[in-house]
Amino acid sequence: MKKLLLMLFAFAFLFLIYSCGGESEPEPQNIPGEDVARSPEKDIEIQRYNLQRMRDQAVNRTPCDTIALIEYVLDNYPEGTYLVDFDRTFAYNVPKPAVFYYSKNREYVFGVIARSKPGERLIEAKNVVGWDQSFIDLDSTELGTAFFYLVLFKCEGDQFSIVWEAPIPSHGGFNRIYLNKWKYKGTEYMQSYFHYARGSGHIDYNYFFVNGLTSFPHLLMTYEGINFKRTIANVNDDKYPDYYEHVYVDYGDSLRAVDSIAFVWNEKDSVYINTRNKKITRPY
pTM over 0.75: yes
Q: CA triplet 143, 193, 173: central angle to 5 degrees? A: 15
Q: Are 69 and 81 in contact (CB under 8 A)?
A: no
Tell me what pLDDT residue 91 has: 62
Domain assignment of residue 99, yes or no: yes
Tell me what pLDDT residue 225 has: 93
Tell me what pLDDT residue 90 has: 62
Could you give the CA distance from residue 231 to residue 255 in angstroms, rounded to a whole number?
A: 18
Domain assignment of residue 143, yes or no: yes
What is the extent of the structural domain holding 167? 39-174
Which residues touch 220 (CB under 8 Å, ≥6 apart)?
A: 206, 208, 232, 241, 243, 272, 284
Does residue 271 have a pLDDT over 70?
yes
Q: What is the dihedral of CA 108, 180, 116, 29, to 10 degrees?
A: -100
Tell me what pLDDT residue 140 has: 52
Domain assignment of residue 250, yes or no: no
Could you give the CA distance from residue 159 to residue 22 in angstroms, rounded to a whole number?
A: 64
- Decide which of 176 and 59 is more confident: 176
Does residue 278 have a pLDDT over 50?
yes
Domain assignment of residue 6, yes or no: no
Domain assignment of residue 114, yes or no: yes
pLDDT digits (tens, 9 = 90+) for 102-125: 999 999 999 999 999 988 889 888
* Domains held by the chain: number: 1
Domain assignment of residue 238, yes or no: no
Domain assignment of residue 2, yes or no: no
Domain assignment of residue 245, yes or no: no
pLDDT digits (tens, 9 = 90+) for 137-190: 665 557 789 999 999 999 998 899 999 999 999 988 999 999 999 999 999 999
